[in-house]
């Protein structure tokens, strides 16, 4: 029987442990099916910093989550053992070293057969996580929720940044180029070629605007057809949400998804072979009233619910 969160009908939420959803720590269980891991790293950002404080903010905002998810009819902490693996200590002064540390940690979890839900941190961290996922599964499909393509080339000559992880991943052959897509893309680009380059790198796009003109269920169908039967990695940049729904982020763009739309699409991933996920770019210094933290906590909860629903169906 998995050890779940503390019972908030007996222990007040504000008195419970500081772990995600008040779950046990990794050292309190024998083994975990899923680990929530914080990666407080934001040395790869091109604009506002602060995502290094994301993991603790998301944990604090997760205190009100409850054990049963009616939308998917699943109890995400009962169908599988979920733990909070704490924060990884990564070097804020050396991007290459930080990326190597993250990849090594992700590989160690894979060796234990533990699926990772990583809380960033900025989007740079997706690259080492994809490297580790590829080492276990071979070329992977990616569904990337973001306002931004993140397939740009370099910033100040630096190839490893929060705007470049998916170009590097594609160049390294980590991705299955027929099974990758972005969801929520919008806003100004550098040139028109940004989009053509992105297609060559293997991505299709569901734009934020498509949510205005197309029923969400149809967009979910499009995404599922693209992702197919193979292993799928989910990367959620919280700035996929409109700044009204997620002000606490580093590179906000107007015209984004509502949190309702994002949660709906995430639930639509049930049944895909989800091998790992990250949730990045939550920058608490720019948040207000925990709006972004709460949205992020619910995104994490839906991802854990999808993993639980998949396990229950096995």
Ligand X SMILES: N=C(N)NCCCC(=O)O
Binding mask 206-245 for ligand X (x = CB under 6 A): -------------------------------x-x------
CB of 218 to ligand X, least distance (A): 27
Cα–Cα separations (whole angstroms), residue 32 to 23, 36, 38, 219: 11, 10, 16, 33
Q: Which of 52, 63, 123, 134 binds ligand X (CB under 6 A)?
A: 123
* Cβ partners under 8 Å of residue 248, min gap 6: 50, 57, 238, 282, 283, 284, 285, 286, 287, 288, 291, 292, 293
Q: Which of 123, 182, 186, 245 binds Zn ion (CB under 5 A)?
A: 123
Site for ligand X in 249-278 (CB under 6 A): 250-251
Please enumerate, as own/partner, the contacts of 62-66 that have beta carbons within 8 Å and a separation of 24 or more: 62/20, 62/21, 62/22, 62/297, 62/300, 62/301, 63/13, 63/14, 63/16, 63/21, 63/22, 64/13, 64/294, 64/297, 65/5, 65/21, 65/297, 65/298, 65/301, 66/8
Q: Which of 42, 150, 176, 287 binds ligand X (CB under 6 A)?
A: 150
Q: Which of ligand X, Zn ion, none does residue 167 bind to, with CB < 5 to 8 Å depending on kind? A: none
Binding mask 277-296 for ligand X (x = CB under 6 A): ----x---------------
Q: Say if residue 73 carries a ligand binding annotation.
A: no
For residue 55, give the nearest of 304, 305, 290, 283 by alpha carbon. Answer: 283
- Residue 163 makes contact with ligand X by CB under 6 A: yes
Distance CA 114, CA 29 (A): 13
Q: Say if residue 87 carries a ligand binding annotation.
A: no
Closer CB to Zn ion, residue 84 or residue 237? 237
- Residue 46 makes contact with ligand X by CB under 6 A: yes
- Residue 198 makes contact with ligand X by CB under 6 A: no
Closer CB to ligand X, residue 3 or residue 189? 189
* Intra-chain end-to-end CA distance of the chain, in Å: 17
* Count of residues that bind ligand X according to CB under 6 A: 12
Binding site for ligand X (CB under 6 A): 46-47, 123, 148, 150, 162-163, 237, 239, 250-251, 281
Binding residues for Mn(2+): 123, 146, 148, 150, 237, 239
């Amino acid at each position: 029987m998995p050890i779940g969160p503390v019972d908030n009908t007996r222990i007040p939420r504000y008195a419970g442990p500081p772990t995600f959803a008040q779950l046990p720590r990794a050292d309190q269980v024998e083994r975990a099916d899923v680990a929530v891991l914080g990666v407080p790293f934001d040395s790869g950002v091109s604009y506002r910093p602060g995502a290094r404080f994301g993991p603790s903010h998301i944990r604090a905002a997760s205190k009100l989550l409850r054990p049963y998810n009616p939308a998917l009819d699943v109890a995400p902490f009962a169908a599988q053992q979920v733990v909070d693996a704490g924060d990884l200590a990564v070097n804020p002064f050396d991007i290459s070293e930080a990326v190597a540390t993250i990849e090594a940690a992700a590989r160690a979890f894979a060796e234990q057969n533990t699926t990772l839900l990583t809380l960033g941190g900025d989007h740079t961290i997706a690259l080492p996580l994809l490297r580790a996922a590829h080492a276990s599964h071979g070329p992977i499909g990616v569904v990337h929720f973001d306002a931004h393509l993140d397939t740009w080339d370099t910033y100040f000559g630096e190839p490893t940044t929060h705007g470049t992880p998916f170009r590097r991943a594609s160049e390294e052959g980590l991705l299955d180029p027929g099974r990758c897509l972005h969801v929520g893309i919008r806003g100004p680009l550098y040139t028109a070629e940004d989009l053509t380059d992105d297609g060559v790198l293997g991505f299709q796009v569901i734009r934020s605007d498509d949510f205005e003109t197309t029923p969400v269920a149809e967009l979910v169908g499009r995404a599922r057809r693209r992702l197919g039967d193979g292993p799928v990695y989910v990367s959620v940049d919280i700035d996929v949400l409109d700044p009204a729904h997620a002000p606490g982020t580093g590179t906000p763009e107007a015209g984004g998804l509502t949190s309702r739309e994002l949660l709906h699409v995430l639930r639509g991933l049930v049944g895909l072979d989800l091998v790992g996920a990250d949730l990045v770019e939550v920058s608490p210094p720019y948040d207000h009233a925990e709006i972004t933290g709460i949205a992020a906590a619910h995104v994490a909860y839906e991802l854990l619910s999808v993993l639980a629903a998949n396990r229950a169906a096995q």
